[in-house]
Amino acid sequence: MTTTTRAALRLLDPRTWLHVLRLVHLYAWGHVEERRLITAGPDLHMSPNVSLRNAERITVGQRVYIGERSALWAGDGSGRIRLGDGCVLAPEVFITASDYGSHWGTHIMDQPRRERDVVIGDGAWLGVRVVVVAGVTIGDGAIVGAGSVVTRDVPAGAIVVGSPARVVGFRDGAPQPEPV
């Protein structure tokens, strides 16, 4: 059987077209339907392939940029996500306001969900492939380096990197917290 014949048979297979319909449905569910539920200020620039969950609990300020293949997943019941004015999210940023428990002897999907708000301050910049977990606040003007995993609050003006993210400095002129 030639390559052309095999390709033609695949196009005639109804399973091929059913799969296309599933992909269209998935795209509409995670991108199109959810987008109209988000509360956003003017001048939002959001890539068309951003994944949203529970967008009625997502609030975005003005002049915000959300890069390609990013995901904003608010909680199913109460966990909210708030992006302040002028935030920049590079491609593939993942922010979630919900996670599972980790009790031994209970399957992860059967664990109770823990939903906590995530707040990203005005003018914060999250680099490529940053992960922000439930309950975190990132202060105004903070910079989160590419590939970082943010598991605790970040002070305003801080520069954080790593997994878990740690403060490595502050932006020029940023107020620095008092030493503990």
Listing DSSP states for 12-43 in one string gives: H-HHHHHHHHHHHHHHIIIIIIHHTT-EE-SS
Q: HSE on the CB side for 132, CA within 13 Å?
A: 38
Active site residues: 107
pLDDT at 129: 98
C-alpha dihedral, 166 to 172 to 178 to 180, nearest 10°: 20
Ranges of each domain in the chain? 1-36, 38-170
Task: Report helix, strand or coil for 146.
Answer: coil
pLDDT-based confidence at residue 32 (cuts at 50, 70, 90)? low
Residues 6+ apart with CB under 8 A from 22: none
pLDDT tens by residue, 110-134: 888 899 999 999 999 999 999 999 9
pLDDT at 100: 86
Residue 64 structure tokens: 């915000």
User: What's the fold here for domain 38-170?
Assistant: UDP N-Acetylglucosamine Acyltransferase; domain 1 (2.160.10)
